[in-house]
């Protein structure tokens, strides 16, 4: 009988991916394209049905790629976890949200691990990719797997390898973004590294699962803190009557010791607004208060309120009130050229504007509908008439397929939170930048 190592090397290992979202689907397709048989597991019947029909709901993975692997039966999507018995290597790619009190919610991880646990067999690899706090793999997952009588490092292998997906990034995807791998034992690490090396150009081993978990949190805390810094600089520049975008561009001419970050209406996405809180929560359990993380979170979370204040001031300067004003929002995704609205600050801005009595409509070519507690709101067609009738147009996401010159030509007033209108001609009187 072949060992797991031999199966991975000759691509006869059956790969399981739990969670077929922004992380899991690209990974599943990469393994399928390398000749592995891949079983994708998801609790959403609609998602499994969509993938089984050869369609993708992830912009970074084309339907053509999915269809090709479904057709040759290298990839199947199912909600039947009994098929886990066939799997040799499983990657867990499920969401890790925060609770309302900003505590880690590992419900999805535990659910996925319990499903896998019921179908464990010897010489099997289990890898957690979901972002979480240091200690999760060793303290929560290992005991669950060993309840079945297996010994991690001998009978089966357990590791953590943080996902590094950047939705919409055309340069770096699953294959060419280096992987960090940490195992519960050296043999676990070796097996997980070998596993990822079959589809990813480079995998870097670290000393433990805790180290691998911390790497991901450092990466996103770094971004959160620096974005908070530049957001605060934007607030300072507003008080000083200085153009923050000019300051950043000028500072960026320095070839060393400076890395540009850019202000905006707040933080969005599943990682940067959430991951630092996982670290802060863990540190509180060790009686350590993470001041940088807490301060950065406070600054970034209040940016939507600042945006609404600036919109109010812009209207007041023209003798208009926010209440009853027609506001057209451009872009609601958390970043340009994607459809992801998770934690998008645009949604917070829209709620605040609505609470102030503004009449809001939005246009986003990637997001046809957004769901609010009081009902859904649909994207409207961007027309000259819509822009001309608006008291103010607010750019919250700088999608590249918006024609900003045309938008400016047809708008009375624009508040641009992304510097999207920087190349617009003759817009000084009508364009206000963050």
270 located within any domain: yes
Residue with more model confidence, 168 or 30: 30
Number of Cβ within 10 Å of residue 31's Cβ equals 28
Q: Which of 264-273, 347-356, 408-417 has the lowest mean pLDDT?
A: 264-273
38 phi, psi to nearest 5 deg: -120, 130
pLDDT of residue 11: 98
Last residue of a domain, one of 300, 332, 360: 300
Q: Is 196 within a domain?
A: yes
Annotated active-site positions, please? 271
203/225 same-domain check: no
- Looking at the structure, do residues 76 and 105 belong to the same domain, yes or no? yes
Q: What confidence score (pLDDT) does residue 272 get?
A: 81
Q: Tell me, what's the pLDDT at 114?
A: 92
User: What domain count does the chain have?
Assistant: 2
- 300, 333, 365 — which closes off a domain? 300
pLDDT in tens, 40-78: 999 999 999 999 999 999 989 999 999 999 999 999 999
The reply to whether 64 and 192 lie within a common domain is yes
Alpha carbon distance 118, 202 (integer Å): 32
- The pLDDT value recorded for residue 271 is 80
Classify residue 376: in a domain, yes or no.
no
Instruction: Give the end of a domain, one of 300, 330, 346.
Output: 300
Residue 275 pLDDT grade (very low, low, confident, very high; cuts 50, 70, 90): confident
Instruction: Let me know whether 33 and 112 are in one domain.
Output: yes
Helices (H), 302-403: 303-316, 345-355, 384-389
Tell me if 93 is assigned to some domain: yes
Q: What are phi and psi of 179, to 5 degrees?
A: -105, 140
> What's the Cα-to-Cα distance from 334 to each of 124, 339, 344, rounded to whole Å?
38, 8, 4
Determine the Cα–Cα distance for residues 139 and 404; give it in Å rounded to an integer: 51
Same domain, 178 and 279: no
Residue 35 burial (CB count, 10 A):
13
Q: What is the CATH number of the domain that holds 129?
A: 3.40.50.720
Which pLDDT score is estimated for 104? 86
Residues 97 and 173 in one domain: yes
pLDDT in tens, 384-405: 999 999 999 999 999 999 999 9
Does 136 lie in the same domain as 38? yes
Residues 6+ apart with CB under 8 A from 72: none
Say what percent of the chain tops pLDDT 70: 100
**What are the tokens at 46?**
């609609």
* Domain of residue 228, CATH code: 1.10.1040.10
Same domain, 198 and 238: no
Residue at 216 is within a domain:
no
200 and 249 fall within a common domain: no
pLDDT of res. 269:
82
Give domain status of residue 407, yes or no.
no
Q: 303-340, pLDDT tens digit by residue?
A: 999 999 999 999 999 999 999 999 999 999 999 999 99
171, part of any domain: yes
Q: Is residue 105 located within the same domain as residue 163?
A: yes
Average pLDDT, the chain: 95
pLDDT value at 136 more than 90? yes
**Residues 20 and 96 reside in one and the same domain:** yes
DSSP 123: S
pLDDT at 382 over 90: yes
- Which residue has tokens 């018995």? 85
Q: Which domain holds residue 9?
A: 4-207
Q: Is the pLDDT of residue 118 over 80?
A: yes
- pLDDT in the model for residue 37: 98
- Regarding whether 68 and 21 lie in a shared domain, the answer is yes
CA distance 395 to 404: 10
Contact of 186 with 209, CB cutoff 8 Å: no
């Amino acid at each position: 009988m072949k060992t797991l190592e031999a199966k991975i090397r000759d691509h006869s290992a059956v790969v399981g991916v739990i969670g077929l979202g922004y992380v899991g689907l690209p990974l599943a397709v990469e393994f399928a394209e390398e000749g592995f048989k891949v079983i994708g597991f998801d609790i959403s019947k609609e998602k499994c049905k969509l993938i089984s029909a050869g369609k993708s709901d992830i912009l970074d993975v084309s339907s053509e790629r999915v269809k090709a692997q479904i057709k040759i039966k290298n990839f199947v999507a199912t909600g039947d976890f009994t098929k886990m018995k066939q799997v040799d290597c499983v990657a867990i790619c499920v969401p890790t949200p925060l609770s309302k009190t900003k505590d880690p919610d590992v419900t999805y991880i535990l659910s996925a691990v319990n499903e896998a646990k019921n179908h464990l067999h010897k010489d099997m690899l289990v890898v957690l990719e979901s972002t979480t706090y240091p200690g999760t793999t060793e303290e929560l997952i290992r005991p669950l797997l060993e309840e079945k009588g297996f010994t991690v490092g001998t009978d089966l292998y357990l590791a953590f390898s943080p996902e590094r997906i950047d939705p919409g990034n055309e340069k770096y995807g699953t294959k060419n973004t280096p992987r960090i791998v940490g195992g519960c034992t050296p043999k676990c690490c070796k097996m997980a590294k070998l596993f990822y090396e079959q589809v990813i150009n480079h995998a870097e081993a670290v000393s433990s699962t805790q180290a691998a978990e911390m790497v991901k949190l450092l990466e996103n805390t770094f971004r959160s803190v620096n974005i908070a810094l530049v957001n605060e600089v934007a607030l300072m520049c507003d008080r000083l009557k200085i153009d923050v975008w000019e300051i950043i561009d000028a500072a960026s001419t320095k070839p060393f010791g400076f890395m540009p970050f850019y202000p905006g209406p707040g933080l969005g996405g599943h990682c940067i607004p959430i991951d630092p809180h996982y670290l802060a929560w863990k540190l509180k359990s060790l009686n350590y208060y993470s001041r940088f993380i807490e301060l950065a979170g406070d600054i970034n979370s209040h940016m939507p309120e600042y945006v609404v204040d600036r919109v109010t001031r812009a209207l007041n300067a023209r003798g208009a009130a926010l209440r009853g004003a027609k506001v057209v929002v451009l872009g609601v995704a958390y970043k340009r050229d994607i459809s992801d609205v998770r934690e998008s600050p645009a949604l917070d801005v829209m709620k605040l504007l609505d609470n102030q009595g503004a009449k809001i409509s939005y246009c986003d070519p990637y997001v046809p509908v957004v769901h609010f507690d009081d009902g859904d709101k649909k994207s409207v067609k961007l027309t000259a008439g819509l822009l001309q009738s608006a008291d103010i147009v607010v750019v919250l996401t700088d999608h590249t397929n918006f024609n900003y010159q045309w938008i400016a030509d047809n708008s009375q007033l624009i508040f641009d939170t992304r510097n999207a209108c920087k190349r617009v001609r003759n817009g000084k009187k009508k364009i206000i930048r963050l």
